[in-house]
Each structure stands twice: as C-alpha cells, then as structure tokens.
C-alpha cells in the first residue's frame, strides 16, 4: 500500500482474519488509501474484539469518503461527510453500538442494514436519522429462540424505504413514525401486522407489498 501512487482511489476493500497482522500495519494501509481521496471503504474485521481500534485519525477528517461498509468489531468517532453507510449487524453489534454509529453521521442519506437476528442476539434495531433519504433493511432469522425485541424507524425525511423481514415469528416491538416525504416503498414481511406499517406510509406514491400467508393443514382420522 505505501507504494501506491495513484492520486485517486475509488474503492478499497480490506478483510482481516486472525491476529498475525499488527494494528500499526492495518492503520498504515487505511491511512494510505484515505490519502488518495478514497470514496468507498469496505472493511470486515473477523478478529473478534482483538483489534477494534484500527481506524486512523485521518478517517474522521476525510471529506472524499462517502460510502462506508462495515462488518465486525470496529470503533468509530465521527464521520462528518459520510452519505452512504452499509452495516452487517452480527454478534459484535449487541444492542446499542449501531445507534451510536448512526448518531456520528450527521449528513447520512443512504443506509443499508443487513441483520441476521440469530447473530444479533435479541437486539433492537433503531434508525433515527433526520437527514436520511433512503433506507434498506434486510432482517432474517430461522430460530424462534433468537426473537429480536423489535424495530424502530424515525426518519422524517425518508423518500425510499425497502423492508424485508424474514423473521418467522411476530415481533414484540414494531414502531414506525410517519414519513410525509416518502415516495416509494417496498415491503416484504412475514407474520407481521402489516396494517400498522401501512398507516405510517400513507403519503407514499409507489407501494409494493409482499406478505406471506401461513397455511395450516388439519387431518381427521376415523
């Protein structure tokens, strides 16, 4: 990475496994990429909680970075220019850290969250971002014992909403505030009170709804 001389780097992907790499080496790679007017950073940290502080200080003053994709234990401070954020919520994002992460992105416009409830360990997904315009949520689980507490969306400037909830059991907490500027919505839910969701998006201009129906077969034997 230090030998890289191109003035502009559009995208940089870094996947970390094991503990053989030093934190200093990782910071050097990231700092070099950011110094090249980096626009997109995709970072996966599979080192458990061994290296959460791997981001260089340059990241927090980088004005070129507009797309950030994260997975794993990664600690952040402030992202003043970030407009697009993609999060994979797993066992490292227990409960509250994702809410703090959203609060340090003051101009965020596009958010994608991919959450497997089995990994998220009964967390509550809360999206409260005043500047947010596009929100995509992929929620899924195959295990009844991993029932998440619920979903809260409070983003009044939202223009596009895509919600795909593949959870197989009813969600105990489900709150979506009114979105007066919403133009398009795609809702694909399973075993959820769809009517409560529809009441929150009455101003939508283009609406697509997919909702599965469960079938029960009864057998009688003489």
Give, for all 222 residues of the chain, the pLDDT tens digit. Answer: 555 566 788 999 998 876 677 888 888 889 999 988 999 999 888 775 555 567 788 887 888 888 988 887 677 777 888 899 888 765 544 445 566 677 888 899 999 988 765 444 455 678 888 999 999 988 776 544 444 556 788 899 999 999 887 665 455 566 788 888 999 999 887 655 566 677 778 888 999 988 765 544 444 554
Q: Is residue 203 part of a domain?
A: yes
Residue finishing a domain among 65, 82, 99: 82
Report d(CA 112, CA 161) in Å as an integer: 10
How far is it, in rounded angstroms, from Cα 176 to Cα 128?
10
**pLDDT given at position 97:** 54
Q: Do 78 and 116 fall within a single domain?
A: no
Residue 89 within a domain:
no
What's the pLDDT at 171? Answer: 56
105 located within any domain: no
Instruction: Say if residue 69 is in the same domain as residue 130.
Output: no
Q: Which domain holds residue 16?
A: 1-82
Does residue 207 form part of some domain? yes
Query: Is the domain of 120 the same as that of 207?
Result: yes
Examine residue 219 and state whether it is found in any structural domain, yes or no.
Answer: yes
Examine residue 49 and state whether it is found in any structural domain, yes or no. Answer: yes
Query: Domain end: 82, 98, 132, which one?
Result: 82
- One-letter-per-residue 3-state SS of the chain: CCCCCCCCCCEEEEEECCCCCCHHHHHHHHHHHHCCCCCEEEEEECCCCCCCCCCCHHHHHCCCCCEEEEEECCCCCCCCCCCEEEEEECCCCCCCHHHHHHHCCCCCCEEEEEEEHHHHCCCEEEECCCCCCEEEEEEECCCHHHCCCEEEECCCCCCEEEEEECCCCCCCEEEECCCCCCCEEEEEEECCCHHHHHHHHCCCCEEEEEEECCCCCCCCCC
Q: Report pTM.
A: 0.77
Tokens of 208: 């697509």
Q: Are 122 and 70 found together in one domain?
A: no
Domain count for the chain, please give it: 2
Q: Say whether both 19 and 61 belong to one domain.
A: yes
- Token code pair at residue 217: 């077969």
Does residue 25 fall inside a structural domain?
yes
């Amino acid at each position: 990475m230090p030998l890289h001389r191109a003035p502009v780097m559009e995208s940089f992907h870094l996947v970390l496994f094991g503990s053989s790499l030093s934190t200093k080496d990782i910071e050097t790679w990231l700092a070099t990429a950011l110094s090249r007017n980096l626009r997109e950073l995709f970072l996966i940290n599979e080192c458990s909680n061994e290296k959460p502080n791997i981001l260089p200080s340059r990241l927090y003053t980088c004005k070129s970075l507009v797309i950030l994709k994260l997975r794993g234990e990664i600690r952040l401070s402030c992202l003043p220019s970030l407009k697009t954020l993609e999060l994979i919520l797993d066992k490292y994002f227990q409960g509250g850290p994702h809410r703090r992460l959203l609060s340090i992105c003051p101009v965020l416009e596009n958010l994608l969250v991919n959450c497997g409830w089995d990994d998220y360990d009964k967390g509550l997904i809360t999206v409260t971002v005043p500047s947010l315009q596009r929100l995509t949520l992929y929620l899924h689980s195959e295990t009844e014992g991993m029932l998440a507490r619920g979903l809260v969306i409070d983003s009044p400037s939202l223009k596009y909403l895509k919600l795909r909830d593949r959870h197989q059991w009813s969600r105990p907490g489900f709150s979506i505030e009114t979105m007066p500027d919403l133009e398009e919505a795609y809702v694909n839910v399973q075993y959820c009170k769809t009517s409560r969701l529809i009441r929150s998006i009455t101003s939508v201009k283009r609406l697509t709804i997919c909702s599965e129906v469960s079938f029960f077969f009864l057998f009688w034997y003489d």
